[in-house]
Amino acid sequence: MSLAVGFGLVVALGATVGTRAGAATHPAKPKVAKAAKAKAPILTGRRPPLVAPGMKMPAVVASTCSACHGMTGISPLGEFPNLAGQGKPYLVKQIEDFRNHTRADPLAQSIMWGMAASIPRNKIRAIALYYASQKGAPGQPAPAKLVAAGRTLYFGGEIAKQLPACMACHGASGRGLLPWFPRLAGQHQAYIIAQLQAFKAKTRANDPHAIMRTIAAKLTTAQMTALAAFVHTL
């Protein structure tokens, strides 16, 4: 992590604590979005702000969410998922699941339960639409051996273990075949591994029909690492 990104994150986290407390009493502050937008290159560390045409950045994104998820949904740290280009129905579902505590892995409990609870109910869809409309993270390089092993599993599954191919739902390009199958393309490796471990440990149990718990239960840690490396390159 570069110094600039680290500094931006600390500043933003500080601002978050300050802003969240007042969020309930001052819902709409149009100028916040503009001021925070100007800081985006520091927060995301990668690219200038990119707002879809005609799409207004929700105030809570500028004041709060951007501290960890970046102004356009590309997050600066591996533990914080990219949200850019993620399916809108999937994002709405996750925010609801944090709010009603059905997504209950450790980082969900310690961070996202509080964050999701602070969002006014009538703003959830606008926030999801905003992130869904942003350009998704581009594929990044990862260690070649891991990528090769991950690719084989992603496209072929493992017949002996009755492990289905990830491609069947997450798509050949990792963008999700249906809107509620999440985008994995370009996602941070640390986040992907953490989610697969959480599904396996059943601490994350908000997947319909236990789809991902059943799949993750069959994966070894080495396979999770390989899959995370592969989807990072998509």
Cα angle value 22/23/25 (rounded, 5°): 70
For residues 45 and 76, the answer to whether their CB atoms sit within 8 Å is yes
Query: Binding residue for ligand HEC (CB under 6 A) from 41, 88, 207, 214?
Result: 207
For residues 36 and 62, the answer to whether their CB atoms sit within 8 Å is yes
Query: Binding residue for ligand HEC (CB under 6 A) from 9, 68, 71, 74?
Result: 68
Query: Binding residue for ligand HEC (CB under 6 A) from 62, 149, 227, 234?
Result: 227
For residues 61 and 67, the answer to whether their CB atoms sit within 8 Å is no
Least Cα distance to 57 among 81, 84, 87, 80 occurs for 84
Query: Binding residue for ligand HEC (CB under 6 A) from 105, 113, 147, 185?
Result: 105
Tell me how far apart the alpha carbons of residues 182 and 176 are, in angstroms, rounded to a whole number.
Answer: 5
Give the pair of three-digit tokens for residue 30.
């149009």
Query: Binding residue for ligand HEC (CB under 6 A) from 16, 44, 72, 189?
Result: 16
Binding to ligand HEC in span 158-197, by CB under 6 A: 164, 166, 168-170, 180-182, 184, 192, 194-196
Contact residues: ligand HEC, CB under 6 A: 16, 60, 64-65, 67-69, 79-81, 83, 91, 93-95, 105, 107-108, 111-112, 115, 119, 127, 153, 164, 166, 168-170, 180-182, 184, 192, 194-196, 206-207, 211-212, 215, 227
